[in-house]
Structures are given as structure tokens and as C-alpha cells.
Amino acid sequence: MSTADSAFWRGRRVLLTGHTGFKGAWLALWLARLGARVTALALEPAARPNLFSLARVDALCDSHIGDIRHSAPVLAAVQAAQPEVVLHLAAQALVRQSYRAPLDTFSTNVMGTAKVLDALRGMTSVRVAVVVTTDKVYRNRGTPYPYREDDALGGHDPYSASKAAAELVTASYRDAFLAAQGVAVATARAGNVIGGGDWSEDRLIPDAVRAWQAGATLQVRRPQAVRPWQHVLEPLAAYLRLAEALWRNPALAGGFNFGPNTHEAASVGSVIGLARDAYGRGDTELGDGLDGPHEAAWLALEVAHARSQLGVRPRWGLHEAVARTMAWYARQAEGADARALCEADIDAFERCP
């Protein structure tokens, strides 16, 4: 079974926000393969290097550079796209950055989401909107408990709180405006994502690749922290399936968790050990978990709702996800084309039974 229905996406008008980011660039590539007509809006890519530039993503879509915190570029992109499906990924997506710049984080993740949704009011073309939030939207209990879609929202750090607030904004726009307009709106809460082409700061695998390529020692702050790790293609496939399902059955509108099976959540130390084995070298120094601002010690998701309602299930386990991620970076460093590497991973993912 294909991970996405190419017949559904072929020629489909899609508005994608956040296409200059890591996940957004991968999704733009995949949508182009499926034959979608993609209009995209995002800031200039923040990381150097970045997948958007290396994979020449701008050649695959109608790319608009603009800030979702401002109404004018959002309205212009919506008018240009006349979208049938909206996939909203644009965000300030880093926990530690949210401590450094909380107001920017809240304005982007809360008001930016509101402005995207508000621009859809009165748009007769739109049938589906998927708003991507995070697994961190839940009020974390600090215990080994897998969060379900009906658990309480919350957030200690500004990033988590801003994404929980974005959930409330999305629910309000769905209930107050968009459902009556015939737009099925859902939120997607995905676990920690790894994959080739991420060069963001303060993320485990990019930090490891930078350190090991430079012959430096990777400093791991919280090796015991547990997260629901998954390859980037897992949530992207889920977003596509969710959009397809909402088109056919708007009653599915609501929140969905996407991640590995609950028992497969793994510690930071375990992931970095797998990464070092796959990469073939690399020194690591494990911290005591006390450095830096507060971050949750344990986080996992219950994904039964997505499995039963959408047929979404994990395809690549943690070992496969880490191995493919590190192989991507190694081959890219040797001169392989970034877009070709992504295409090869998508091919392999789609062939996986």
C-alpha cells in the first residue's frame, strides 16, 4: 500500500507553509513527486547549509518568502494558491530558542497560525487544512505515560506552550468559522524527527554530525531523556494520509498523534549510540542532565487513534531511521546530490511493506 494516494494529489492545489525548513523542504519534495501544484510560504532558510537550497526546492513550487506573522504575505500566498489543501508547518520549532526569544516564539506559533487560518475564511476553494503542532503540546506529568489526544494541553517552556496555544487557536477557527464553511481542520502532533538535511541548532543529530565531521566531541546534555523518535518521512506520510482522509470524511477533524509505537520511545543516549555506530566514528561526552533550561525527562505518544482512523503505522524502526539518517549525511558530505538522496529515501520508504 502506498503511503500517499498519488491520484488524490496529482494536480491538487496545495498551500504549504514552512517549506524552507527541514520538514517543509522534505514535504515540498514529496508533494512535487506526487504531482501536486504547490504554492509555498516561509521565511528565508535560517540554517547554513540547509536542505531547501541544497535540494533546489524553490524550483519545485511557487515559492514565496514572507513572514506568517504579517497578514499581507499570508493573504498574497493564499490568493496565489487558491488552495484546496493547506498544510501549515511554518513555526519557530526549537525549545532552547524559545527560551532565548519567547515573544518571537509566541508571535510566530500562535498569531502566525491565527493569520494563516484567518486567511482561509471565505476561501471557497479550501476543503482541508492540517496544522502541524508537536508532541510537546501536552501537560507533561514527568512520568512514563503515553499521551493521548484527549489529554490536557500545557507547556512549561515557551515553545511547548505556544504550540498548545496554537491547538486552541486552531480548534476555535474550526468551530467558529471553518467547519461551517466546509473546511475540515485537524492538528498533527508528531514526535521527535530525524533525517538527512537537518542543520538546525540544538538538535541531537545535527549537533552530532557537526561535531563528528569536525573531529570534535559531542556534548550531550540529557542522555537519559526519553523521546518518541521517528524518521522525517513517517510524520510527512501521516500528514498526507490525514489530508486525504479529511477530504473524504470531514468528521475526522480533530487532533492526531503521530509517532513510533509507544514502547519504542528511546533515550537520547540510545539514539546517539546508534548514530555513532552507523557513522563509524565520533567521540561523545554525556552530561548529568542538569545543564540548560528545563526540558521534559520523558515523553511518548499513544498512536492508536491514527492507526485505527487513518491506517497510519510506523514503517521504519529506530535502527533503520538512524542508519538512513547518518548514511544521508555521510553521502552528502562526500558530494552526493541532496535532492537525489531525499528521492532515494522516499523511494525506499514507499516500497517498505
The predicted pLDDT at position 1 comes to 40
Q: Which CATH number fits domain 6-197+229-264+300-317: 3.40.1010.20, 3.40.50.720, 3.20.20.10, 3.20.20.80?
A: 3.40.50.720
Residues 6+ apart with CB under 8 A from 336: none
In the chain, which ranges are E strands? Answer: 13-17, 37-42, 62-65, 85-88, 128-132, 146-147, 184-190, 193-194, 217-220, 226-227, 230-231, 255-258, 266-267, 283-286, 300-301
pTM: 0.97
Q: How would you class 227 by CB atoms within 10 Å of its CB: exposed for 0-12, middle for 13-18, buried for 19 or more?
A: buried
In 222-320, which ranges are E strands? Answer: 226-227, 230-231, 255-258, 266-267, 283-286, 300-301
Segments of the chain scoring below 70 in pLDDT: 1-2, 289-290
Domain ranges of the chain: 6-197+229-264+300-317
Taking only the tens place, the pLDDT of each residue in 146-173 is 999 999 999 999 999 999 999 999 999 9
Q: Work out the end-to-end distance of the chain between its first and last CA atoms, rounded to an integer number of angstroms.
A: 7
Identify residue 288 by its one-letter amino acid code. Answer: D
Are the C-beta atoms of 230 and 284 separated by less than 8 Å? no
